[in-house]
Amino acid sequence: MANMQLLVLVLNRYEKLDKLLTALDKSGIKGATVINSTGMARLLNTESLPILGSIRTFLNPEREDNRTIFIVACEEKIKRSIEVIHDVLGSLDRPDTGVIFVIPTLYTEGISNT
């Protein structure tokens, strides 16, 4: 398939995940893969200071890992996805919101362009 792109969103605001996925679905984005992920800073804080990391985890047990969302779609749907992401999350320039990037794919198979 020509002109397909991979959008990657590392979502720090995991509480927005359901709202984001619902909004993507309503806007016609029907396929995404979501995985749990942990950032380097969180791992270093936990591993380099195991006692303080354990205390931090104890004091904030509901702090979950990030969610990383992958969407492979045509350029039009990627642009629409980014608009939806901004509508739901607001500016990603705010700390602890998320990171987004898009890269071209060289080959895709099994992905509907509709």
The CATH number of residue 25's host domain is 3.30.70.120
Full domain range(s) for residue 30: 4-37+65-104
The CA distance from 51 to 37, in Å, is 22
The pLDDT value recorded for residue 88 is 97
Q: How many helices (H) and strands (E) does the chain have?
A: 4, 4
H helical segments located in the chain: 17-26, 40-48, 50-59, 75-89
Q: Is residue 58 part of a domain?
A: no
Query: 22-77 pLDDT, tens per residue?
Result: 999 999 999 999 999 988 776 676 555 555 555 555 555 555 689 999 999 999 99
Mean pLDDT along residues 16-22: 97
Give me the number of domains the chain comprises.
Answer: 1
Cβ 32 vs Cβ 111: under 8 Å:
no
Q: Is residue 19 part of a domain?
A: yes
Mean pLDDT of the chain: 85
Q: Is residue 109 part of a domain?
A: no
Residues near 88 by beta carbon (within 8 Å), at least 6 away in sequence: 16, 19, 20, 23
The pLDDT value recorded for residue 62 is 54
Q: Is residue 95 part of a domain?
A: yes
